[in-house]
Structure 1
């Protein structure tokens, strides 16, 4: 039902432009010309001057362009009872209870619960693969 598409011959030869009437070589595009006209150092100096005078918008522009946004970094934590939990559900319950007791911050708890969810998916895939291989072996359908 599916047919191979016919290869079309190219409309021009290799090295030949598809748009010979296009922009000639050596002519910069309009954006490049505008960039050359802008005195970036003068603009930054003016923003800095205005920021020092108390213009918060100028300060905000300078800071958001010059410094990367701050991101929270969680310190390693020791979670009592987590290693004793036998199942993924028990581990998740341990994390929730530690968070409710104030021993674990909500953002760290969210990250850990997400990791447990990903681990559960991986475990499920491994289990399904193992079961499928056992069924194929039982029915004599070796790969």
Structure 2
């Protein structure tokens, strides 16, 4: 059987620097110095001027930073026959049928199928928890 070695004691006490001759406190880093030397307002004004003259790259840069990216928003859809489907499998099959018929877009169908999969997992976990609790009750020592 191999013997376990103890870790070596720490070289420094808590609060003691491992590099006592390092940069003294209060001296800014090069990144901080560079950030302080940049005139942001002048750069933005120059970009705006350049964009107004037709520089599309400058306009793109300004708009990317100033306006949030537009994301598609799915609208509510009618899914005929989905309420009549009794099981999750039947619901999934109906969604695939609707997508195949062109009544639901593929991205909406994919999202709905993902939601059905998540719901199925949650139902499965609830069922497993119920079974475990029943087994624990049946096999619990008498009080």
Q: What secondary structure is seen at the aligned counterpart in 2 of 1:100? A: helix
Alignment of 1:13-92 (within 5 A): 13-92=13-92
1:75 deviates by 2.1
Gaps of 5+ in 1: none
Stretch moving more, 9-18 or 64-73: 9-18
Alignment RMSD (CA, Å): 2.8
Give TM-score, length-normalised by structure 1: 0.80
Deviations 1:15-68 (A, max 9, x none): 322221111111100000011111111111111111111111111111112222
**Partner Cα distance (1:50, 1:12) in 2:** 56
Q: What secondary structure is seen at the aligned counterpart in 1 of 2:11? A: coil
Gaps of 5+ in 2: none
**Partner Cα distance (1:58, 1:109) in 2:** 39
1:78 deviates by 3.1
**Partner Cα distance (2:94, 2:58) in 1:** 48
**Partner Cα distance (1:17, 1:123) in 2:** 55
1:105 deviates by 2.1
How many residue pairs get aligned? The number is: 141
**Partner Cα distance (2:91, 2:140) in 1:** 38
Give TM-score, length-normalised by structure 2: 0.80
Structure 1 segments, 4+ long, off by >6 Å, are 1-5
**Partner Cα distance (1:41, 1:2) in 2:** 66
Could you say which residue in structure 1 is the equivalent of 2:124?
A: 124
Alignment CA distance shift 1:3-1:126 (3 Å): farther
